[in-house]
Structure 1
């Protein structure tokens, strides 16, 4: 673990999440990169060149002052911290910056979204989840310190987490091996017999060194509601989910469980990028059940 990136708009929510970002940077011996995405000149706005230069220098000066104030926070003292400004119209533009392509973890503060805002635009966290290729930790109204004693790892246990599960193992080590609940939610529309789910979960646990985990299966109508209720019942401190990062028409038709949970969960949610392992022809011929991916 070498690089953690943390986008900030200097809002109260971002400042509130910063202690946890710094905690994890210390715990994982990583450099914390604070990133502010600065919008370009609004479309249709054509000031004189001198005015544009003045406005640019003034804005950059204000951003530097804000970064200077943030760097004085107690949680960042004696920590490897770098500050960056990315020019873009959307927070997700930071993902196009080559400086952050190799980041090990993206931590984002979120207030969530609801109603028509969620349907039409979603939250910035949702957009980052959809486009990021590194694990994302979404924090909403976090406490100053992250204590993880119970984790709910929800999945259909078909995706491959080979590129991201190392982070889960590192977190387990750092938090003195919390209780891990592996959770599969069975629905009427995508029903899978228990005789198939349990072996699949056991194989998953063995493959990713989660052998001490507790296996759980729920039969419910809605995956998100069941997951959030289960996490609440177990008093979970962290939810872990995988996402394929689907966009475009496929995303509109199927949505994303990871985005919805991150948007609505009151506790931290860790989103892991994964790749889908398609069935072989033999598996397809012998297994007629319909598999519901995580996202």
Structure 2
């Protein structure tokens, strides 16, 4: 790991993410790239070129000053830090910036959402999780305790999740952390009998080419079951695959990875299948 992208809006949540990223960076001797989106409105951009240039310079200087103040953290000492400032368009563009900067991971904070706001608006974190081709770690609370010793990966045991497991396993090894798998058994359209689940577990291990422990957990909801299992196991980091659904498919079907990352209290790492 060489570069970690951290989107920041100077809130306490993005500071939590920055501190968590600093710990990862120190472990891997990596560089941190800060991304701040200014968010100049269309009304400003519609002004004359002279007014637009003056306004842009003002916001740019303001952002630079904030970044300089924001990065005066003791935990950043010894870590190379670059910063990128661009006008806000859509948080799905974070993926493009990460790829252009040859980053290996995105770490960002999240306020979380609930109710009608979540249904109709969603969150910026969800947009990044949905669109990112890189692993994304979502931080919800103060990262002073971001010390990954026990990781849990939750998935449906389909073969397509095997590359995700390998990436999670590599991250666990780099952090000297344990990694365990869980399958949440829940009634619904995709309900399977226990024997069928056991068969799928064996097929997953066979395809993986190694023996691993896969835990079976019953709950009325897959999302709730994942969160409860992590709580009971005192997990430090949850890993969950994502398909990165977009458009109408995303609106109708939803994404388990986005929902879990939005509601979990512990850090969540999403990895695109």
TM-score of the two chains, using structure 2 as the length reference: 0.90
Secondary structure at the residue paired with 2:143?
A: coil
In terms of mean alpha carbon deviation, does 23-32 or 109-118 score higher? Answer: 23-32
Higher helix residue share: 2
The unaligned stretches of length 5 or more in structure 2 are none
Q: Which residue matches 2:75?
A: 75
Q: Which residue of 2 aligns with 1:65?
A: 65
The answer to whether 1:140 aligns with 2:140 is: yes
* Alignment partner of 1:36 is 2:36: yes
- In structure 2, the residue matched to 1:267 is 266
Equivalent in the alignment of 2:129: 129
RMSD value, Cα: 2.3
1:240 counterpart SS class: strand
Q: How big is the shift at 1:209? A: 7.2
- Describe the SS at the equivalent of 1:221: coil
Name which of structure 1's ranges 163-172 and 125-134 shifts more when overlaid on structure 2.
Answer: 163-172
Is 1:155–1:242's contact at 8 Å kept on the other side of the alignment? Answer: yes
The equivalent of 2:23 in structure 1 is 23
- Are 1:254 and 2:253 counterparts? yes
Cα separation, 2, equivalents of 1:218 and 1:77: 43
Which whole-Å CA distance do the structure 2 matches of 1:98 and 1:265 have between them? Answer: 24
- In 2, the alpha carbon distance for the partners of 1:60 and 1:141 equals 29
| Deviation at residue 162 of structure 1 after TM alignment | 5.8
Residue 58 of structure 2 aligns to a residue whose secondary structure is helix
Q: Is the 8 A contact 1:35 1:83 kept in 2?
A: yes
Q: Distance in 1 between matches of 2:272 and 2:98?
A: 19
Question: 1:149-188 to 2 correspondence within 5 Å?
Answer: 149-161=149-161, 164-188=164-188
Partner Cα separation in structure 1 for residue 128 and residue 58 of structure 2? 29
* CA distance in 2: counterparts of 1:242 and 1:142, whole angstroms: 24
Kept after mapping to 2: 8 A contact 1:39/1:90 = no
State whether residues 153 and 165 of structure 2, in contact with CA within 8 Å, keep that contact through their aligned partners in structure 1. Answer: no
The verdict on how the C-alpha distance between 1:85 and 1:231 changes in structure 2, with shifts beyond 3 A counting, is same
CA positional deviation for 1:210: 6.9
Q: Are residues 104 and 209 of structure 1, via their aligned partners in 2, closer, same or farther at CA, if it must alter by over 3 Å?
A: farther
Relative distance call for 1:116 and 1:52 in structure 2 (3 A) is same
Q: Deviations over 1:23-79 (max 9, x none)?
A: 111212322111111223424764343222221111111111112112321111111
Counterpart of 1:100 in structure 2 is 100
Range moving further from structure 2, 21-30 or 92-101: 92-101
Give 1:138 deviation, angstroms.
0.6
- Kept after mapping to 2: 8 A contact 1:33/1:81: yes
Aligned residue for 1:160, secondary structure, equals: helix
- Between the aligned partners of 2:228 and 2:128, the Cα distance in structure 1 is 25
Shift of 1:231: 1.4
**Partner of 2:241 in structure 1?**
242
- How far the C-alpha of 1:214 sits from its partner, in A, is 3.1
Q: d(CA) in 1 for partners of 2:257 and 2:66?
A: 32
TM (normalized to structure 1)?
0.84
Shift in Å, 1:178: 1.9
Partner-residue secondary structure (3-state), 2:42: coil
Q: 2: distance between equivalents of 1:98 and 1:270?
A: 16
| Structure 1: distance between partners of 2:214 and 2:105 | 27
